[in-house]
Structure 1
Amino acid sequence: MIEDLREIGRSIIVASLIYIILIILTQNYVVKGKSMFPNLDDGQRVLVNKFIYFRIFSLDNSKIVIGDKFIFGGPKRDEVVVFKSPQLFQKEAIVKRIIGLPGDWIEIKNGIVLVNSKPTSENFGFTSSISFDEKMKVPESMYFVLGDNRNYSNDSRLFGFVSSDEIIGRVWVTYWPFSEFRIFG
């Protein structure tokens, strides 16, 4: 009897530790709108890996300083990320695809996205005939993001660059509806 209680206690402790680790490392998110269609649809639920973009910090005069260097490497082109909305009126997090990295030059001509004057290999979504004639350089610690469904996306074309501080994490898996379960690379 006592051995059974110990085993139950150990199981509860292990389950609690796993739960706490998952809460720290991941976050649930519900996709809102059609801006990422056909890859993510309105109402889909995704699990976001928050730890993947964990940044190196240091102590400076007894203060913790978070740097711009990432332990596992920073966000990469074509990764789907969730970030805090840079728009003041919107409090919910947003999901988009990273197109431009710090230092990249971005242009959009006749619906074709050019990164450093080369067309991107976009086979993941819809493009539009929208042009953005201004050539922009992505500033340090910033990212240029677009929705896959360009015609229905409020993205960096509207609100500008996204700071690395605003990025919550990378979309890791879609888990609901279960019939659309998918692991992102």
Structure 2
Amino acid sequence: MSKPPLFSAVSPPDATNSQAKDPWLAVNLSMFFPGLGQWYANKNQKATIWAIAQVILIIVTIWSIFSPNGPVSWGLGGIVALVIVYISNIFDAHWTVYDSRQNNSLEKIPRKQKNPWFAVFANRIMPGLGQLYADKVRLGIIFLTISQISLKMDHFLTNILFLTPLITAIAIYHVYHTFPHQFHPHRHTYRSILALMVGVIFTWGIICNYFPDWFHQKIEFFQIPSESMLPTLAIGDRIFVSQSGNYQAERGDIIAFRTPEKIRQLDPTSGDFFIKRVIAIAGDTIEIRRGKVYLNRQVIQEPHTAELANYEIEFMTVPPKTLFVLGDNRNHSFDSHAWGFLPESYIVGQAYKVYWPLDRVQSLL
């Protein structure tokens, strides 16, 4: 006597209907972007609403957080809203297809009548879970173990950031193609969808893994450690610094720069970076008399300073490819009046926004 199968593959009750839809395929599609699952369910109006809502939230969130004048509190609210919309869209995609089937015997979570698209969904959560769901325990444990090792290696081996997306893609492809399928009118279409899905998951995974490095080449985060830039920047303020190879410092800019060696010689305890305001650029003349700064022989107005300087600097010209920088807290700042001109090659970028704490959010431009 032959043993009964461990489980039965999915066989939609209305498989003879060419319009039969799979709720877990809808879920997988909506995990890529809100609205795709609803579009698959032929609910185009609903799909459009979900997609537009997500696009608007993404734009508002990015603008609020990273633009100089954007309210960061809106951005934080936008992040919460994005998560809510994304998760709600997934549930709605499942329910939209499930409800349209009008089949009380269809399980919302396929336990008895197992579904390959649910296995794909499980593997997108964690490679190996889909194999465990399909009763391929040994392979499931292997995929789980390899994926966990890969995730840990990602933190210190940036040249193998492709490995985790590759493992996920392989696990998804394997679990679907080794799943015992019964006849389904859309089987060829489903295989094409799976192939596209695997390619997108692998590509998107690589983009997500390498995006942080790319982002930090454009924008860097700094925390203010001292009072040298009061009242503009206080201890604990967190700022965005825009990095660009084409950046040319201008008078009045607040810049971040790496610590030159001459500063370390004067103060070995200096940190790796400084934040100061550009007062004069190459070719300018600079002088400080009676607490006032003379730029090109003209007194400059400085509403951002804490107090007048209690030191003087004789008339001098800023050399080529250097800057003269000062802290806004003139008498409590280790800056050009103490160690001289800053070579432009040490500039990291321009500080353009305080993004934290929320009660101090402001543009620095």
Alignment partner, residue 284 of structure 2: 104
* Cα distance, 1:180 vs structure 2: 1.8
From 24, 30, 35, the equivalent of 2:223 is 30
Please say if 1:40 is aligned against 2:233.
yes
Root-mean-square deviation (CA), in Å? 2.0
Moved more, 6-15 or 77-86: 6-15
- 1:166 maps to a residue whose letter is Y
TM-score, scaled to structure 1: 0.80
Structure 2: any 5+ residue segments left out of the alignment?
1-116, 118-193
* Cα distance, 1:131 vs structure 2: 3.4
- 1:33 maps to a residue whose letter is S
Could you tell me whether the CA contact under 8 Å between 2:313 and 2:337 is conserved in 1? no
SS in 2 for 1:42: coil
Measured in 2, the distance between the counterparts of 1:107 and 1:98 equals 14
Alignment partner, residue 85 of structure 1: 259
CA deviation digits over 1:129-182, x for unaligned, max 9? 423141111000000000001121111000100000111111122222133222
Alignment partner, residue 303 of structure 2: 123
Alignment partner, residue 123 of structure 2: none
- 1:143 maps to a residue whose letter is L
Alignment partner, residue 120 of structure 2: none
Please say if 1:179 is aligned against 2:359.
yes
Q: How does 1:143-182 map to 2 (within 5 A)?
A: 143-182=323-362
- 1:162 maps to a residue whose letter is L
Measured in 1, the distance between the counterparts of 2:280 and 2:329 equals 17
* Cα distance, 1:128 vs structure 2: 2.0
CA deviation digits over 1:108-143, x for unaligned, max 9? 111111101101121112232423141111000000
Runs of 4+ displaced beyond 6 Å: none
Could you tell me whether the CA contact under 8 Å between 1:48 and 1:169 is conserved in 2? yes
Alignment partner, residue 274 of structure 2: 94
- 1:136 maps to a residue whose letter is M
- Structure 1 or 2: more strand by fraction: 1
* Cα distance, 1:34 vs structure 2: 0.5
Alignment partner, residue 213 of structure 2: 20
Could you tell me whether the CA contact under 8 Å between 2:250 and 2:278 is conserved in 1? yes
Measured in 2, the distance between the counterparts of 1:98 and 1:179 equals 26
- 2:250 maps to a residue whose letter is K
Alignment partner, residue 60 of structure 1: none
Please say if 1:75 is aligned against 2:239.
no
Could you tell me whether the CA contact under 8 Å between 1:99 and 1:145 is conserved in 2? yes
Measured in 1, the distance between the counterparts of 2:227 and 2:312 equals 21
* Cα distance, 1:25 vs structure 2: 1.4
Which has the larger Rg? Answer: 2
CA separation of 1:23 and 1:5: change in aligned 2, threshold 3 A: same
Measured in 1, the distance between the counterparts of 2:207 and 2:282 equals 41
* Cα distance, 1:93 vs structure 2: 0.5
Moved more, 169-178 or 97-106: 169-178
Measured in 2, the distance between the counterparts of 1:161 and 1:98 equals 11
* Cα distance, 1:35 vs structure 2: 0.7
Measured in 2, the distance between the counterparts of 1:7 and 1:133 equals 61
Could you tell me whether the CA contact under 8 Å between 2:309 and 2:330 is conserved in 1? no
CA separation of 1:178 and 1:156: change in aligned 2, threshold 3 A: same
* Cα distance, 1:184 vs structure 2: 2.5
Measured in 1, the distance between the counterparts of 2:281 and 2:321 equals 8
Measured in 2, the distance between the counterparts of 1:120 and 1:149 equals 16
Could you tell me whether the CA contact under 8 Å between 1:50 and 1:170 is conserved in 2? yes
